[in-house]
Amino acid sequence: MKKKKRILVDMSATLIHHGHVRLLKAASQLGTVVVALTTDDCLRAKKGYKPELSFAERKEILESIRYVDEVIPSPWKIDNAYLDQHKIDLLVHGHDNSNPIDPKRLVILPRTRGISSSLLRSRVLKAVAQILAKGNVS
C-alpha cells in the first residue's frame, strides 16, 4: 500500500471562515493534512495586532475540522527546510503564495472569492460602528 502524502496548508486563521474549510477540503484530497498555523508572536510582528483568537483557540477549532489531521506552529514564511523538518511532501497555498518553496513541492489552489479574514474583520468593525452610531449598545 502506498503511503499517503503529507500535505501542508499554512494559514493564520485569525477569523476562520468557509474559504479556509474549502481549502482544507481540497488539500485533504491530496493526502494527510497538516496545518502550519502562524503563531501569535509572528502575527503581531507581521500584521501589527493581536489576533482575535489566540493560537490555542485557533488550533482547537482547526483540529475539530474533519479535513485536518494535525496542527503545528509556524513562522510567517514557510521554506523547504520547514517542509523537511516536518516531513511534508507538498505545500498547498492560494495564488498569493510568497513562500520560497521548490515549485515541485507546491500546489496552488484558487482562493474562495469574496471572503477573507481581513474582509470579515472590516465587516465586524463596520457593524460595530453602526451600532455605536445608533446608540443601541446594551
CATH number at residue 67: 3.40.50.620
pLDDT tens digits along 12-48: 998 888 889 999 999 999 999 999 999 999 999 998 8
51: domain range?
A: 6-112
In a domain, 129, yes or no: no
Number of domains in the chain: 1
In a domain, 134, yes or no: no
Type of residue found at 60: E
Q: What backbone phi and psi angles, to 5 degrees, belong to 7?
A: -110, 125
- The whole-model pTM stands at 0.83
Residue 89 CB partners (closer than 8 Å, separation 6+): 5, 6, 7, 31, 105
In a domain, 37, yes or no: yes
